[in-house]
Structure 1
Amino acid sequence: MTSRPNTFPRRWFFTDSRLGDAVWAVIARLPNDVGVIVRVPSPKRDAALARRLVAACSRRGLIVLMAGPVTLAQRLGAHGAHLPEREARRGRNLRPKAGFYLTAAAHSRPALVRAERLGVDGVFLSPVFPTRSHPTARTLGPARFGLLTRGVNVPVLALGGMTPATLKRLAPLQPYGWGAIDAWLDNDEGPE
């Protein structure tokens, strides 16, 4: 594992199997202040792919988190783990050592509160807007995003349908940051 950069990124790229080989081009051109969350369909079946993605990000000096259990992230040499909501629901902060990043997914206020209690570095609240990766999911929209995040004392990042236009719609709510998949395909800087 490369040394940990000092700042928790405000912009994130989430890998997705539907991107195919385009994922390598995105990683190659990401700005240095962007974090990457590596997701693979099956950590057991796709372990070699996950290892290659983590290594490619680390070589670039990008903060890279592995989606899934902390033990998987450690085994693959990631800077941290991104816990699915069901994993965060178990209520244990499994941070193995100081300097290991821990984020969580959340889709509701109770999930945000649980993640805050875990002491994670950030929570990705989604889906804020319609997204190609989850086309049938009920979206939060700006008003609900703002209501859910009010009074939460953990960095909340917007995820789901993030584009330059949707990011502007969230600006008054001052999310800590955002994550995206497709926005990085369309624009080297992602939503600005």
Structure 2
Amino acid sequence: MARCYSDAVPRKKPLPEIWLLSDARNDAVLERALKRLPRGSGFVFRHYHLPEEQRRRRWNTLARLARSRGVSAVLSGSPAMARRWGADGSYGVHPGATLAAAHSLHELGRAHRAEAVLLSPVFPTRSHPGGKALGPLRFRLLAHRSPVPVIALGGMNAGRARRLKWPRWAGIDAFLR
């Protein structure tokens, strides 16, 4: 695959190529999905729909399973919260987040302190019905301008990642089956 990101950010472990993101829609199948992920993948726990106490319990269960399978467990929240909860990193717009989210060139520029950025939506998604997708060409144009490695998100699955010829991708619905 073509070089498609800057490797300027040093890491203790290699940046995973495949990521699973959680939400209310895939909660019932997360255990099965985590067991199917290849060793060395990543898991981003979001679960914004749960009250904090329930969210923490669900995190503990899923993070333990992820780590037993050799999958990094990243918590959506501030870096301080991620440290308190024992996460491998944090996801979000917080300064110092391990993984950032971006939907535009401007947001990519703000992600320069993250280890990687999830750029979305590449394709139409069930998460945002009727929303405008970047499409493969615009995704590539933006991704090549990123100061950090890019993870493709939005309507992604293994087949689309192969067609996109992009080494890193994340999915929500991709792991529902």
Report if TM-score (shorter chain) is over 0.5: yes
Residue of structure 1 in register with 2:100 after alignment: 104
CA distance in 2, matches of 1:74, 1:43: 19
SS at match of 1:32: coil
Match of 1:33 among 40, 49, 56: 40
Paired residue total: 165
Determine which structure has greater relative contact order: mean sequence separation of CA pairs < 8 Å that are 6+ residues apart, divided by chain length: 2
**1:1-192 counterparts in 2 under 5 A?**
6-41=13-48, 42=50, 44-45=52-53, 46-83=55-92, 87-88=93-94, 92-93=95-96, 102-116=98-112, 118=113, 120-171=114-165, 175-186=166-177
Which digits, 9 at most, give the CA deviation of each residue in 1:39-96, with x for residues without a partner?
112462522212222222123221110012112211221100111xxx24xxx336xx
Check conservation: 2:22, 2:172, Cα contact below 8 A.
yes
Q: Alignment RMSD, CA only?
A: 2.0
Q: How far apart are residue 24 of structure 1 and its match?
A: 1.0
Q: How far apart are residue 178 of structure 1 and its match?
A: 0.5
Q: How far apart are residue 180 of structure 1 and its match?
A: 0.5
CA distance in 2, matches of 1:63, 1:76: 14
CA distance in 2, matches of 1:164, 1:30: 12
For structure 1, which segment, 4-13 or 153-162, has the greater mean C-alpha deviation from structure 2 after superposition? 4-13
Partner letter of residue 52 of structure 2? K
* Structure 2 stretches lacking a partner, 5+ long: 1-10
Partner letter of residue 106 of structure 1? A
SS at match of 2:52: coil
TM-score (norm 1): 0.77
Check conservation: 2:82, 2:88, Cα contact below 8 A.
yes
Check conservation: 1:58, 1:64, Cα contact below 8 A.
yes
Moved segments of 4+, more than 4 Å: none
Check conservation: 1:128, 1:139, Cα contact below 8 A.
yes
Check conservation: 1:5, 1:63, Cα contact below 8 A.
no
Partner letter of residue 101 of structure 2? A
* Structure 1 stretches lacking a partner, 5+ long: 95-101, 187-192
Check conservation: 1:123, 1:155, Cα contact below 8 A.
yes
CA distance in 2, matches of 1:54, 1:128: 27
Partner letter of residue 44 of structure 1? E
CA distance in 1, matches of 2:104, 2:40: 28
SS at match of 1:110: helix
Which digits, 9 at most, give the CA deviation of each residue in 1:113-134, with x for residues without a partner?
1101x2x111000011011222
Percent identity between the two aligned chains: 38
CA distance in 2, matches of 1:113, 1:56: 34
